[in-house]
Chains A and B, each alone.
Chain A
Amino acid sequence: MEIKKAAMAGTLESSDAQVTVEPGENGIDLSIESSVIHQFGRQIRATVLETLNRLQVTDAKVTVVDKGALDCTLKARVECAVYRSNGITENLPWGGVIK
């Protein structure tokens, strides 16, 4: 999917993550800030990249401010931001590229 406009999802509350996607060129420019970076930085990055890959987002600037979110929340926030950037809220591919 293309990132058509900047979009954001999530909050800065504990156990949540705020994900911002912006149009980009030349691949994924991912920045991660996390309150649990030492223990979970590697896993956060892997989850975010996997999710973007599943959504076929190839070019984007992605910013994650993580407050100890579980993987399921990270995925949800990334997906929400990406679909918001495309203005899509209905007939989503649950169980397809969202999984």
Chain B
Amino acid sequence: MSHPNKKRLRRSMMFLNCQKPGLIKDPYIYKPDSIMLDLEDAVAENQKDAARYSLYHALQEIDYRGVERVVRINGLDTPHWREDIRVCVAGGADTIRIAKTESARDVHIVEEHVLAAEREFGRPEGSTLLMAALESCRGVLHALEVCESSDRLIGIALSGGDYTKDLQTVITGTGVELQGARQQMIIAARAAGVQCWDTVFTNLDAMDVFEEEVKMIKMMGFDGKSLVNPRQIDIVHKIFTPSQKEIIFAEKVVREIDEKKSLGIGVFTVDGKMIDIAFYDGAKRTIDLAKASGVYEGDL
């Protein structure tokens, strides 16, 4: 039985520095689907401890109003990740983002410690979800095994900065350097039935370029994107908002399948298109997106 939130909507996942109280106190105002409270790169090496206390109390005391609380922990090559996992689980984080994931083994190591922490802090076993950031060529090549590594794993996220360094290139603004990773990752994620998120876009002076990039990754099949600024959220949500035509079609598909299933009919047509059960999840997703975007007025 998989976790009820495993497939929740995650179009916008906004990074926030755990070390900055002003940032973490009410980011829900901007209505992202998820916040990613960062213990890793944004936190200075000598403030790793301080960030954890802030994180613990934020998780325990701030009402994030339904926004998913992801925590990015420090990499397995650092001295910090064990305590990071303890504080995440104790505080009740929804999801842990594993930095610099290279293989299924990395996920297993984290999973083992998460389970131990769930037992230590009396949290339901399996309640803490995981997501893996792929930040290297090896990690990207191992995308499928990472996606299939754990029941807790909700999906994989590309981390373009480190990845392009490993690739011996840079973020060019054209996207050409990320093509391979994006394709490999989305294919792996879909094969494994998990979600997939694109890397951050950091140039806040080029909102038009950002918008084009979001349109592209949506067409590629991505579920959403890691974000660095609240200004990016509305743009992502707008692009991920289904059109009225798509919504009406999705409604028909859901209703027809529900009805035909009971009659034992497997294949039929909606608006002249051949439809079978394989369309069901996609149609449901469209309805969910429409609801989250505030444009759904039906009763499904």
Are any A and B Cβ atoms less than 8 Å apart in their complex? Answer: yes
State which residues 31-57 of B face A: CB under 8 Å.
Answer: 48-50, 52-54, 56-57
| A49 located at the interface, meaning its Cβ lies under 8 Å from any Cβ of chain B in the complex | no
Instruction: Pick the contact of A94: B61, B62, B91 (CB < 8 A).
Output: B91
B22 at the A/B interface (Cβ < 8 Å)?
A: yes
Cα distance A91–B61 in the bound complex, in angstroms: 21
Interface hit among B81-89, B128-136, B220-228, B246-254: B81-89
**Is B20 within 8 A of A13, CB to CB?**
yes
Q: With CB as the reference atom, state the residue of chain A lying closest to B23.
A: A15
Stretch touching chain B among A35-43, A56-64, A69-77: A69-77
Q: Kindly state the separation between the CA atoms of A8 and B192 in the bound complex, as whole angstroms.
A: 47
The answer to whether B57 and A75 have CB atoms under 8 Å apart is yes
CA distance A83 to B90 in the complex (A): 18
CA distance A15 to B24 in the complex (A): 10
B residues within 8 A CB of A26? Answer: none
B244 / chain A contacts, CB cutoff of 8 Å: none
Asked if B30 lies at the interface with its beta carbon under 8 angstroms from chain A, I say no
The answer to whether A95 and B21 touch across the interface, beta carbons within 8 angstroms, is no
A84 sits at the interface (CB 8 A): yes
Q: Which residue of B lies closest to A93 (CB)?
A: B90
**A92's contact among B20, B22, B87, by CB below 8 Å, is which?**
B87
What residues of chain A lie closer than 8 Å to B21, measured between beta carbons? 13, 15-16, 69-70, 73
Q: Let me know if B25 and A90 touch, CB within 8 A.
A: no
Residues of chain B within 8 A (CB-CB) of A15 are 21-22, 25
> Which of chain B's residues has its CB closest to A69's CB?
B21
Is the beta-carbon distance between A73 and B57 smaller than 8 angstroms? yes
Interface string of B107-126 (1 = CB under 8 A from A): 00000000000000100000
Report chain A residues within 8 Å CB of B90.
Answer: 94-95
- Complex-state Cα separation, A10 to B56, whole angstroms: 15
Q: Which residues of A contact B (CB under 8 A)?
A: 9-10, 13-16, 69-73, 75-77, 79-80, 83-84, 89-92, 94-95, 98-99
Please give the residue numbers on chain B whose beta carbons come within 8 Å of chain A beta carbons, in ascending order.
20-22, 25, 48-50, 52-54, 56-58, 60-62, 82-83, 86-87, 90-91, 121
Name 21 A/B residue pairs within 8 A (Cβ), A-sorted.
Answer: A9-B50, A10-B50, A13-B22, A15-B21, A15-B25, A16-B21, A70-B21, A70-B25, A72-B57, A72-B60, A72-B61, A73-B21, A73-B25, A75-B53, A76-B57, A77-B53, A89-B83, A92-B83, A92-B87, A94-B87, A94-B91
